[in-house]
Amino acid sequence: MPDKFPRLAASFLLAAMILTPQLSYGAGAGYPLDAALNDVGNIASLQRGARNFVNYCMGCHSAQYVRFNRLANDLQITEDQLVNNLMFAAEKPHETMQVAMPADDSARWFGQAPPDLTLIARSRGTDYLYTFLRTFYVDDSKPTGVNNLVLEGASMPHVLWELQGMQRKVVETDEEGHESIRLETVTEGSMSADEYDQFVRDIVNFLDYTGEPMQLERQRLGYWVLAFLLVFGLFSYLLKSEIWKDVK
């Protein structure tokens, strides 16, 4: 009996530790989040994500803790590619990803200044971002003409509508009175649903990286550590066989 209590307490603690992140991510978002399933080790996806971010987001959002030359290095792109594909304003490689629009102008236009996105994947979670960018729907009562399922009353316009098309919200009630929400396409975009999901996943992947650039280095280092352990293990085995050979 005396040792039972600590064990019980430990299981509660463990359960709490496992559940806490889920609870905090879910908080505030009534709509169930879709899994982003992005992979920061996928360099091609990161490169596409950076391109999408520069083309579609940086008009309003900065990523002011990301330096262009660090980006080029981490994403394995050359300085030429960097200058031609990612830098449009008169930026220098050592500068950070700043937004062209002054913050108080955008606050005046949108009622809400677009936040810096460097760390947004850490504060909101990747699943939230993935769902947010896919769940804009037509709402004529809003100045932007759209609303969003995970950020009710969002003041961000649906900047990707030409790619995704436009959706409307459909609320269905089953026999037991449970409401379920789904989105239905009203105007087709230039991309198929799968293409659009991948497009968004690449941006989310990029934002996951900017939130913690060390992830990439850690992963690369991890492979070296594993390779070292393998080689070292092999040598220790050979050494052991050599030493014990004479003992038998």
Query: How many residues make contact with ligand HEC (CB under 6 A)?
Result: 23
CB under 6 A: which stretch of 59-67, 134-142, 164-172, 179-187 binds ligand HEC? Answer: 59-67
Residue of 154, 164, 167, 208 that binds ligand HEC (CB under 6 A): 154
CB atoms within 10 A of CB 231: 10
Q: By C-beta, is 141 or 241 nearer to ligand HEC?
A: 141
Nearer to ligand HEC, 41 or 157 (CB): 157
Residue 153 vs 222, nearer CB to ligand HEC: 153
| Residue 96 or 155 with smaller CB distance to ligand HEC | 155
* Max Cα–Cα distance, the chain, nearest Å: 87
Nearest-angstrom CA–CA distance, 214 and 74: 9
Q: Which residues in 121-150 contact ligand HEC (CB under 6 A)? A: 124, 129, 132-133
Q: Which residues of 217-226 are buried (b: 16+ CB within 10 A; e: fewer)?
A: eeeeeeeeee
Q: Which one of 160, 164, 201, 209 is in contact with ligand HEC (CB under 6 A)?
A: 160
Q: Minimum Å distance from CB 23 to ligand HEC?
A: 17
168, 187 Cβ separation under 8 angstroms: no
d(CA 59, CA 163): 17
Query: Which of 103, 155, 189, 215 is close enough to bind ligand HEC by CB under 6 A?
Result: 155
CB 199 → ligand HEC: shortest distance, Å?
A: 9
Residue 60 interacts with ligand HEC (CB under 6 A): yes or no: yes
49 neighbors 202 (Cβ within 8 angstroms): yes
Spell out the residues 6+ positions from residue 135 whose beta carbon is closer than 8 angstroms to its own. 31, 148, 149, 150, 167, 183
Spatial CA neighbour of 38 closest among 28, 48, 24, 26: 48
In angstroms and rounded to an integer, the radius of gyration of the C-alpha atoms of the chain is: 24
- Residue 106 and residue 101: Cα distance in Å, rounded? 7
Among 33, 46, 50, 61, the residue binding ligand HEC under the rule CB under 6 A is 61
Q: Which is closer to ligand HEC, CB of 89 or CB of 243? A: 89
> Is 21 an interacting residue with respect to ligand HEC (CB under 6 A)?
no
Contact residues for ligand HEC (CB under 6 A)?
56-57, 59-61, 110, 112, 114-115, 117, 120, 124, 129, 132-133, 151, 154-157, 159-160, 203
